[in-house]
Amino acid sequence: MRIALISEHASPLAAVGGVDAGGQNIHVAALAAALAERGHEVVVYTRRTSEVEPHNVPMAPGATVRHITAGPPEAVPKDDLLPHMADFATELGRHWSRWTPDVAHAHFWMSGVATLAASQKVDVPVAQTFHALATVKRRWQGDADTSPPERMALEEHVGRHAGAIIATCSDEVRELSVMGVPQDRVVVVPCGVDLSSFQPRGECAWKGERPRILSLGRMVPRKGLDTLIHALRDVPEAELMIVGGEPCDEEYVRLAALTAVHGVSDRVRFVGSVPHNEVPKLLRSADVLVTVPWYEPFGIVPVEAMACGVPVVASAVGGHLDTVAGCGLLIPPRQPELVARALNDLLADAHLRARLGAAGVRRARARYGWPRVAERTEHAYKALLATSADQLAAAEG
């Protein structure tokens, strides 16, 4: 198949760990490579963020990144990109008139808006993965949500008009149903993990005497790092290593101040963002991985920890309900006392840690390896193509 992956703000080539670059970038890069590995021709379309970026960049055998000029060729916060989606759609349509994909798979709602508009001009079946939903974001963030006001309505529009919705977890399916997205078009395919790098054996980062709690991810308030720093007060002896974010981020400054408030500054280490290939050795150095966001559309990080055999403490939200089950401890979000209790239970019990770690490795290998996830994605595309062909035949008579 010729497959177009559209990821307007999240380039598979970008460095991750900043405010707007994380799981979606990693997911799109790995999905493109895994689909190409299965013999497909894959083009990933993403917005040009610098004048020096070439039109096409080969990213893996059979997979190319194509930069689309839409808006200024510079970094723009994703919440300011909607006005440029019409240009993005025009450019997509222009390219598709020369290279027509069999299927277009849009990632995030804005890509969906541009992809549906382009598919009006060049008839291409559209699959959509939201990665995050406005309804959930608004529920948790309220007025702090900086998404454009049109997002909710446009997301519903994409949900109703895309030929297939590829959700990443069962909690998302529930949310989509409340949004009125027809359930017969929704299929669940989780995000994947690279099992050749994320595995228990391999290089391990240096660690001192203290038990190590690791946190990893974009440094934004909803990731709940304040809850974890608060909890550390009641987990004496342990150190907390925080990976992700940059010292200039507002949240970084706030969290650094919070470590002083809770009297744990000497036990917290801010590492900043690290390249993705350095993540496995950091995970392997940890006694436990903690991820306690308020909400989480999928959460690749706990699956990466599981694949490395590291037990997980996670909030019982979103994708964690599917992934972490049986491989870690799930607790309600924003409850520092419960995080502390879970951490103390785990750190006091090497047998429990080993048991949960081993269960994580088994579960990650059985469900989340990229070859398997790419195969399931391919099935979803084939089902979409079959439905589109049926609809065409019915329309023709």
Residue ranges binding ligand UDP (CB under 6 A): 16-17, 22-24, 26, 216-218, 243-244, 273-274, 276, 279, 298-301, 304
Q: How far is the CB of 291 from ligand UDP (least distance, A)?
A: 7
Q: How far is the CB of 270 from ligand UDP (least distance, A)?
A: 11
State how far the alpha carbon of 320 is from the alpha carbons of 19, 146, 177, 306, in Å: 21, 25, 19, 12
Which residues have CB under 8 Å from 21's CB, separation 6+? Answer: 10, 11, 14, 15, 218
Q: How far is the CB of 369 from ligand UDP (least distance, A)?
A: 15
Nearer to ligand UDP, 44 or 243 (CB): 243
Nearer to ligand UDP, 17 or 328 (CB): 17
Nearer to ligand UDP, 197 or 387 (CB): 197
User: By the 8 A CB rule, do 300 and 217 touch?
Assistant: no
Strand partners for 281? none
- Cα distance between residue 251 and residue 17, in whole Å: 13
Q: How far is the CB of 338 from ligand UDP (least distance, A)?
A: 21
Q: How far is the CB of 37 from ligand UDP (least distance, A)?
A: 19
Nearer to ligand UDP, 286 or 384 (CB): 286
Q: Strands across the sheet with 56-60, in order?
A: 56-60, 63-68, 41-47, 2-6, 103-107, 126-129, 164-167, 186-188
Nearer to ligand UDP, 241 or 338 (CB): 241
**Token output for 135:** 């309804």
- Cα distance between residue 282 and residue 274, in whole Å: 10
Beta-strand relationship, 56-60 and 63-68: antiparallel
Nearer to ligand UDP, 16 or 343 (CB): 16
Q: How far is the CB of 197 from ligand UDP (least distance, A)?
A: 10
What is the residue type of 192? Answer: G
Which residues have CB under 8 Å from 328's CB, separation 6+? Answer: 289, 302, 306, 311, 312, 313, 314, 356, 360
By beta carbon distance, the residue nearest ligand UDP is 22
Q: How far is the CB of 234 from ligand UDP (least distance, A)?
A: 25
Nearer to ligand UDP, 48 or 223 (CB): 223
User: By the 8 A CB rule, do 186 and 159 touch?
Assistant: no
